[in-house]
C-alpha cells in the first residue's frame, strides 16, 4: 500500500483510507461479524488509517472497532484513528423541539470526544475533525477546545470536514496548531472542490484533502444526483475505454482520476466487501495520464474546457 504524510505532521498514512461508516450494518450479529471481516481485510491489504464519526451507526461503528481493539490491543499501535463530531441528530435529543443541528460549543465537543474514546476503546484519537460547519461557531472557542484536547493527550492532531475555504481561514486565524485535513466530497459528480478554491487552499497550506463518496456518480448514485441519462452515458462510455486501456474496472479509473490531483487526495474506501477493499489498491498502480484526466472531465461536463 502506498503511504503518504498527512498535512504538515509526521503521520504516515496509507494513501487509501478505510471508512467505517457502514461496518456495523443493522447492528445484528451477522452484520457486525461482516464488519469485523471487512476491517481485517483492510488491515491485511495495508490500510492503516480508519475513519470514524460519533454518529456512524449511532455509535455502533465505533463500538465495533473498539471490540476489535479489545481483542487485539497491539493493533492500536499500527493504525491511525480519526473521528468526527459536531452533528447533533434530532433523534438523539430528549428535547422534542430541538432540530438536527451542528454544535461546536466546547462542552459538546469535549463530551463527544470522550464518547468516541470510550466506544473505540482507546485513550487518544490521532485525528479529530469537525464534521460539518456550525454556522454559529466561535473560532476562538473551538481553538481553545482543541488546545484543551491536545494538552490532555486525548487528541493528537486536528482537522475539519466539509469546510469551505473561508471557514478554514476563519478557524486557522484563531489556532496556534495546524489543521491537517479537510474531508470533503470529491467525485466525478461533485467537482465543487476543483472550482471553489478548496483544493487550491489544501496545496497552499499543506492540508490533506480526504475524499468521501469518491465513487459517487459511478459505483453508486451521488448525493443530490443531477446527472441526466445522457451525462451518465457519456461518462460510462469514456470509462469503458479507459478501463480497457488500464486493464481495470471503471470505478478503479475514477480512483486514479482523484489520485492524479497534485493536492494529494486520499480517497475513503467504505465497502464492507473484502474483495472490493483489496481491489481498490490497484488504483494506486495505474499510471494515469493528464490526457485521460481531461478526457474524463470533458465527458463529465459534456463539453471541452474553455
Of the CA atoms within 13 Å of residue 142, those in its CB half-sphere come to 28
Nearest by Cα to 109 from 87, 127, 124, 94: 87
Strand boundaries in the chain, DSSP class E: 3-5, 12-14, 17-19, 49-51, 80-85, 87-88, 101-102, 125-130, 155-161, 179-185, 208-212, 266-269
Grid cell, residue 165, equals: 475555504
Beta strands 80-85 and 49-51: pairing type? Answer: parallel
Catalytic residue ranges: 56
Residues 6 or more apart whose CB falls under 8 angstroms from that of 166 comprise none
Q: 87 by DSSP, 3-state: which?
A: strand
Cα–Cα distance for residue pair 85/104, rounded to 1 Å: 8
Amino acid at each position: 500500500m502506498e503511504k503518504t504524510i498527512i498535512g504538515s505532521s509526521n503521520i504516515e498514512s496509507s494513501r487509501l483510507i478505510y471508512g467505517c461508516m457502514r461496518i456495523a450494518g443493522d447492528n445484528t450479529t451477522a452484520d457486525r461479524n461482516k464488519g469485523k471481516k471487512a476491517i481485517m481485510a483492510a488491515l491485511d491489504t495495508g490500510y492503516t488509517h480508519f475513519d470514524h464519526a460519533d454518529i456512524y451507526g449511532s455509535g455502533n461503528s465505533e463500538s465495533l472497532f473498539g471490540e476489535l481493539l479489545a481483542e487485539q490491543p497491539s493493533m492500536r499501535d499500527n493504525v491511525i484513528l480519526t473521528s468526527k463530531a459536531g452533528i447533533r441528530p434530532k433523534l438523539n435529543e430528549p428535547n422534542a423541539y430541538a432540530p438536527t443541528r451542528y454544535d461546536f460549543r466546547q462542552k459538546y465537543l469535549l463530551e463527544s470526544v470522550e464518547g468516541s474514546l470510550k466506544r473505540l476503546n482507546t485513550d487518544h484519537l490521532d485525528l479529530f475533525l469537525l464534521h460539518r460547519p456550525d454556522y454559529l461557531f466561535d473560532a476562538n472557542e473551538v481553538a481553545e477546545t482543541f488546545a484543551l484536547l491536545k494538552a490532555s493527550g486525548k487528541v493528537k492532531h486536528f482537522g475539519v470536514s466539509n469546510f469551505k475555504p473561508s471557514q478554514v481561514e476563519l478557524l486557522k486565524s484563531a489556532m496556534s496548531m495546524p489543521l491537517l485535513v479537510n474531508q470533503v466530497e470529491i467525485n466525478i459528480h461533485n467537482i465543487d472542490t476543483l472550482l471553489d478554491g478548496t483544493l487550491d487552499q489544501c496545496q497552499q497550506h499543506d492540508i490533506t484533502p480526504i475524499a468521501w463518496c469518491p465513487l459517487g456518480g459511478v459505483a453508486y448514485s451521488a448525493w443530490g444526483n443531477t446527472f441526466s441519462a445522457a451525462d451518465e452515458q457519456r461518462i460510462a462510455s469514456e470509462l469503458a475505454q479507459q478501463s480497457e486501456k488500464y486493464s481495470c474496472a471503471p470505478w478503479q479509473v475514477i480512483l486514479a482520476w482523484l489520485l492524479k490531483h497534485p493536492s494529494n487526495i486520499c480517497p475513503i474506501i467504505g465497502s464492507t466487501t473484502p474483495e472490493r477493499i483489496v481491489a481498490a489498491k490497484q488504483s494506486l498502480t495505474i499510471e494515469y495520464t493528464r490526457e485521460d484526466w481531461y478526457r474524463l472531465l470533458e465527458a463529465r461536463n459534456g463539453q471541452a474546457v474553455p
